[in-house]
């Protein structure tokens, strides 16, 4: 499974003569259907035969009608459904050798030697055991006369690939398991709803979330909503926590807060191993503080509902990777799982991941809690450290006498406020004075600058838009006034949060260093825009929220089209010249096409799309969804394409159009954007603090090196700082996009899943990696 040079292999013939079965097992998770759909469609695309195994391992054991051939159309309209359409069951029979023999017999009879398992660690361990004893099972079946020698020979080896479907995110080696992001969506929806009622009555709310052995959901929810306290199994509170908790809640109230939120993982326990239940905490708070306290146990709500855009894309990309891993496997290849690390597809040895997952449980049982957090991975550890720093005010005794200003630039987007809150609080923890600049560079030029403190950013993580106010004005023409105000307010460092204007504004500020000494201060740009078009970062704050808005709208549109039949919807998305939103929403909503600026198209392509839709109307799937990025082509406008489709589709389908507009910039931020914004805000100020130390000379700050003005971005698997000046070469300034964009590589997946006959580039493989070397996306 290393990078073979298979450029010559025709991907549409890779699976000829092969059979793949797909099953979902264990607890259900949102996004499993996306994984099943992608596995089926890519399997069929490669020429393989694909089978559904209904009801998990039970269906594998019982055989018969439970193992059925899958068709292209049979996975239609699955993408937006929660749970698993092919069913899942806990299976005792498969645990016994006799049950596994029956399962092996059923597979051999159908000539299936490739198994794709979507489930948690128990399901995947079971799959590996099945594979390990495969030859022994076949020998027993031959002896018992249940299979012929010829059949045994044809099925001499079983390939297994796993995808982790678990809302708990409790499987080590993977950044995000299928279902985790959707579960966080459910939790945050509830937290937001509870917050409004808690504030009305000045209540304390205790929220119990899932996670018997893993505190990921509790921890990220606490980070995303700014909870006062979180209880997780990996890190029980110190002895005497009851006093500490009550003191903290009372302090919050004394500071003017009208509510307290406490989040508890269901597996939370004390240092001596006793469970800490939500009822126990409620009694404590009520008895000691007399606060009006309520508990809410979320339970199976977290497993339900429609999958988030991230889980659909994760499931779809994993399905593609799983089929490739199966078809490339040799008898010597260990069973692997496919996963995403940052935005990279990776393959990991299944049993290594299982072992590390078991090591976490052992560390917790032995009281080695620091080890448990480390073993969970860099992302988990980083979440924990960020949460500890930001949850409670703990400013140092000595002030730094440094003034750090924070500014929002460009169009507003969800998650900006989370970044501002984290930057303000991290600055206060570092001993700095934090300044808020209102209305972008305009405000900086006109002196709209005021101190901002710990309490003034309370509750900001869940607010959409920009509380500071933001404008698109660039600093170039206002530089005289801006530098005067930098001197007047004694600003030593600048955090610029925004989109392409923030990036260009940062470059103009760097340029101004040649003329104005006041501009010689450390600066950091945090990408925040729905368009995801800032050079230096694979993701920007706000894009995930916009993507979910587009995806949920497309779901409703598809439902309408499915009801009326023979209807094609054309939807225009935002993004400027950047096709990220159109492409990703196309993948998440199951679109037939997505027109973008980066991939040039002509009248022949438009004709080809119409023909494709005409063919589609002959099947049972009588509807179409086409996305168009707002600036994809100056002449082939949304109206032009709508008119073309309406004319060419006459008598076969009718066409409707929707322009989504500014709804894509609004709404409350998704858990990802809250968490991402929080980490970016905190990390930017920590970096500025270090830079300020480097740039302090003769009693003043002087920063004029390229690496003292950076973009903080996520690159592949880590957050990195890149000098603004170095990024100029990778920028198309005319069209306001980076010259290289990682997501263009996954566009073929969208086309293959929409049944276009195109070639998938199989030359770039995901290497088999080892868990120990793993890094994680929001780490470092």
168 catalytic residue (yes or no): yes
Give yes or no: residues 113 and 253 share one domain: no
Is 166 annotated to bind ligand? yes
Radius of gyration in angstroms for the set of CA atoms belonging to the chain, rounded to a whole number: 27
Is 74 annotated to bind ligand? no
Both tokens assigned to 700: 């003043």
- Cα dihedral 276, 278, 281, 285 in deg (nearest 10): 170
Is 480 annotated to bind ligand? no
* 208, containing H or E segment: strand 204-209
Q: Which residues contact 528 (CB under 8 A, 6 or more apart)?
A: 408, 410, 413, 415, 416, 419, 497, 498, 499, 502, 540, 541, 542, 677
Mean model confidence pLDDT for the chain: 92
Residue 777 confidence (pLDDT): 37
Both tokens assigned to 208: 């119990």
Residue 7 confidence (pLDDT): 40
Give yes or no: residues 163 and 41 share one domain: yes
| pLDDT surpasses 50 at 5 | no
Mean pLDDT of 428-455: 96
Contact 437, 449 (CB under 8 A): yes
745, part of any domain? no
Q: How far are the Cα atoms of 261, 478, 538, 585, 682 from residue 543, in angstroms, in the given order?
A: 27, 30, 11, 11, 19
Residue 257 confidence (pLDDT): 83
* 261, containing H or E segment: strand 260-265
Distance from first CA to last CA of the chain, Å, rounded? 28
Is 121 annotated to bind ligand? yes
- Cα dihedral 485, 476, 474, 498 in deg (nearest 10): -70
- Using DSSP's 3-state secondary structure scheme, residue 23 falls into strand
Mean pLDDT of 219-245: 93
Residue 765 confidence (pLDDT): 58
Give yes or no: residues 600 and 622 share one domain: yes
What is the pLDDT confidence band of residue 776, given thresholds at 50, 70 and 90? very low
373, part of any domain? no
Q: Which residues contact 434 (CB under 8 A, 6 or more apart)?
A: 403, 404, 405, 406, 423, 424, 427, 428, 451, 452, 453
Nearest to 672 by CA among 309, 140, 273: 309
Residue 561 confidence (pLDDT): 81
Choose the catalytic residue: 28, 62, 168, 228. 168
Is 271 annotated to bind ligand? no
Both tokens assigned to 141: 């079946």
Between residues 773 and 20, which one has the greater pLDDT?
20
Domain, as residue range, for 93: 14-176+307-359
608, part of any domain? yes
- The span from the CA of 531 to the CA of 528, in Å, is 9
Residue 767 confidence (pLDDT): 67
Mean pLDDT of 655-682: 94
777, part of any domain? no
Contact 194, 207 (CB under 8 A): yes
Is 690 annotated to bind ligand? no
Please name the residue ranges forming H helices in 4-163: 32-45, 56-62, 97-110, 121-132, 134-143, 149-154
- Cα angle 255, 290, 254 (rounded to 5 degrees) comes to 10
Give yes or no: residues 480 and 405 share one domain: yes
- Using DSSP's 3-state secondary structure scheme, residue 351 falls into helix
Residue 254 confidence (pLDDT): 86
Please name the residue ranges forming H helices in 240-343: 241-254, 278-289, 309-328
Is 123 annotated to bind ligand? yes
Both tokens assigned to 265: 């993982």
Give yes or no: residues 24 and 84 share one domain: yes
Contact 769, 667 (CB under 8 A): no
What is the pLDDT confidence band of residue 763, given thresholds at 50, 70 and 90? low
What is the pLDDT confidence band of residue 199, given thresholds at 50, 70 and 90? confident
Give yes or no: residues 115 and 240 share one domain: no
Residue 6 confidence (pLDDT): 41
Beta-ladder partners of 569: 625, 656
Beta-ladder partners of 709: 523
Q: Specify the CATH number for the domain of residue 191.
A: 3.40.50.460
Give yes or no: residues 133 and 192 share one domain: no
pLDDT per residue as tens digits for the range 456-515: 998 899 999 999 999 999 999 999 999 999 999 999 999 999 999 999 999 999 999 999
Residue 209 confidence (pLDDT): 96
Residue 445 confidence (pLDDT): 97
Beta-ladder partners of 748: none
In this structure, which long-range contacts are made by residues 365-368, counting pairs with CB atoms below 8 Å and at least 24 apart in sequence? 367/271
pLDDT per residue as tens digits for the range 618-659: 998 889 999 999 999 999 999 999 999 999 999 999 999 999
Contact 426, 518 (CB under 8 A): no
| pLDDT surpasses 50 at 455 | yes
Where a domain ends, among 278, 302, 326?
302
Least confident of 10-14, 99-103, 232-236: 10-14
Give yes or no: residues 287 and 324 share one domain: no
Is 301 annotated to bind ligand? yes
pLDDT per residue as tens digits for the range 257-292: 888 999 999 999 999 889 999 999 999 999 999 999
Contact 569, 660 (CB under 8 A): no
Phi first, then psi: give them for residue 744, nearest 5 degrees.
-60, -30
Domains: count for the chain: 4
Mean pLDDT of 423-428: 96
Between residues 561 and 120, which one has the greater pLDDT?
120
What is the pLDDT confidence band of residue 772, given thresholds at 50, 70 and 90? low
Is 764 annotated to bind ligand? no
- The span from the CA of 252 to the CA of 289, in Å, is 13
Mean pLDDT of 374-383: 89
Task: Determine whether 72 is exposed, middle or buried from the number of CB atoms within 10 Å of its CB (0-12, 13-18, 19+).
Answer: middle
Is 203 annotated to bind ligand? yes
Give yes or no: residues 185 and 255 share one domain: yes
Contact 525, 708 (CB under 8 A): no
Residue 570 confidence (pLDDT): 96
Mean pLDDT of 56-73: 96
Is 379 annotated to bind ligand? no
* 161, containing H or E segment: strand 159-164
What is the pLDDT confidence band of residue 771, given thresholds at 50, 70 and 90? low
Give yes or no: residues 258 and 170 share one domain: no
- Using DSSP's 3-state secondary structure scheme, residue 275 falls into strand
| pLDDT surpasses 60 at 780 | no
384, part of any domain? no
Is 302 annotated to bind ligand? yes
584, part of any domain? yes
127, part of any domain? yes
Contact 66, 100 (CB under 8 A): no
Give yes or no: residues 531 and 457 share one domain: yes
Residue 102 confidence (pLDDT): 96
Give yes or no: residues 146 and 27 share one domain: yes
Residue 23 confidence (pLDDT): 96
| pLDDT surpasses 90 at 237 | yes
508, part of any domain? yes
pLDDT per residue as tens digits for the range 550-561: 999 999 998 888
Between residues 172 and 425, which one has the greater pLDDT?
425
């Amino acid at each position: 499974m290393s990078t073979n040079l298979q450029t010559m292999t025709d991907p549409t013939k890779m699976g000829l003569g092969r059979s793949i079965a797909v099953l979902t097992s264990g607890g259900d998770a949102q996004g499993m259907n996306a994984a099943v759909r992608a596995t089926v469609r890519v399997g069929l695309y490669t020429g393989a035969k694909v089978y559904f195994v209904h009801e998990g391992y039970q269906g594998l054991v019982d055989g018969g009608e439970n193992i059925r051939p899958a068709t292209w159309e049979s996975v239609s309209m699955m993408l937006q459904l929660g749970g698993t359409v092919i069913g899942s069951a806990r299976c005792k029979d498969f645990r016994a050798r006799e049950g596994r023999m029956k399962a092996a017999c059923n597979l051999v009879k159908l000539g299936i030697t490739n198994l794709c398992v979507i489930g948690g660690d128990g399901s995947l361990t079971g799959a590996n055991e099945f594979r390990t004893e495969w030859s022994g099972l076949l020998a027993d079946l031959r002896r018992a006369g249940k299979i012929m020698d010829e059949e045994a020979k044809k099925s001499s080896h079983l390939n297994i690939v796993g995808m982790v479907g678990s809302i708990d995110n409790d499987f080590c080696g993977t950044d995000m398991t299928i279902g985790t992001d959707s579960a966080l969506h459910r939790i945050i929806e509830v937290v937001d709803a509870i917050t409004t009622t808690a504030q009305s009555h000045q209540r304390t709310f205790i929220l119990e979330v899932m996670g018997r052995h893993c505190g990921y959901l509790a921890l990220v929810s606490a980070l995303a909503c700014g909870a006062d306290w979180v209880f997780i199994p990996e890190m029980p509170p110190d002895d005497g926590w009851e006093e500490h908790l009550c003191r903290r809640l009372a302090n919050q109230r004394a500071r003017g807060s009208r509510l307290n939120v406490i989040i508890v993982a269901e597996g939370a326990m004390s240092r001596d191993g006793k469970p800490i239940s939500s009822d126990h905490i409620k009694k404590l708070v009520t008895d000691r503080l007399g606060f009006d306290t309520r508990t809410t146990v979320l339970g199976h709500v977290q497993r339900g509902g429609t999958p988030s855009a991230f889980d659909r894309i994760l499931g779809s990309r994993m399905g593609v990777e799983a089929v490739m891993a199966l078809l490339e496997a040799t008898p010597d290849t260990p069973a692997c799982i496919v996963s995403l690390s940052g935005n990279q597809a990776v393959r990991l040895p299944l049993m290594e991941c299982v072992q590390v997952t078991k090591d976490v449980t052992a560390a917790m049982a032995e009281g080695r809690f620091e080890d448990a957090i480390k073993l969970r991975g860099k992302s988990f550890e980083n979440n924990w450290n960020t949460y500890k720093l930001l949850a409670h005010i703990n400013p140092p005794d000595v002030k730094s006498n440094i003034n750090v200003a924070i500014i929002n630039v460009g169009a507003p987007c969800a998650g900006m406020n989370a970044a501002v809150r984290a930057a303000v609080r991290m600055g206060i923890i570092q001993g700095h004075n934090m300044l808020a600049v209102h209305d972008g560079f305009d405000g900086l030029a006109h002196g709209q600058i005021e101190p901002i403190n710990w309490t003034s950013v309370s509750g900001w993580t869940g607010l959409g838009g920009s509380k500071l106010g933001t404008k698109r004005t660039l600093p170039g023409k206002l530089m005289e006034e801006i530098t005067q105000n930098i001197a007047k307010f004694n600003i030593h460092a600048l955090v610029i949060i925004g989109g392409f204007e923030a990036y260009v504004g940062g470059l103009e500020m760097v340029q101004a260093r040649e003329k104005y000494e006041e501009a010689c201060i450390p600066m950091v740009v945090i990408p925040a825009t729905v368009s995801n078009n800032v050079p230096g970062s694979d993701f920007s704050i706000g894009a995930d929220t916009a993507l979910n808005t587009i995806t949920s709208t497309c779901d409703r549109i598809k439902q309408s089209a499915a009801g009326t039949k023979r209807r094609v919807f054309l939807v225009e998305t935002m993004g400027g010249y950047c096709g990220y939103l159109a492409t990703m929403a196309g993948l998440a909503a199951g679109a037939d096409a997505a027109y973008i600026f980066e991939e040039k198209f002509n009248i022949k392509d438009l004709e080809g799309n119409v023909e494709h839709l005409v063919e589609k109307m002959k099947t049972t799937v009588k509807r179409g969804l086409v996305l168009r990025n707002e600036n994809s082509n100056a002449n082939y406008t949304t109206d032009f394409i709508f008119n073309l489709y309406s004319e060419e589709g006459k008598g076969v389908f009718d066409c409707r159009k929707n322009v989504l507009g500014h709804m894509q910039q609004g709404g409350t931020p998704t858990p990802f954007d809250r968490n991402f914004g929080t980490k970016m805000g905190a990390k930017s100020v920590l970096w500025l603090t270090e830079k300020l130390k480097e740039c302090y000379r003769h009693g003043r700050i002087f920063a004029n090196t390229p690496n003292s003005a950076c973009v903080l971005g996520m690159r592949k698997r880590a957050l990195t700082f890149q000098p603004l000046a170095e990024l100029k070469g990778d920028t198309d300034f005319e069209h306001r996009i980076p010259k290289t964009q990682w997501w263009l590589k996954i566009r073929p997946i969208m086309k293959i899943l929409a049944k276009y006959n195109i070639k998938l580039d199989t030359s770039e493989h995901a290497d088999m990696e080892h868990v120990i070397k793993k890094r994680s996306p929001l780490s470092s």
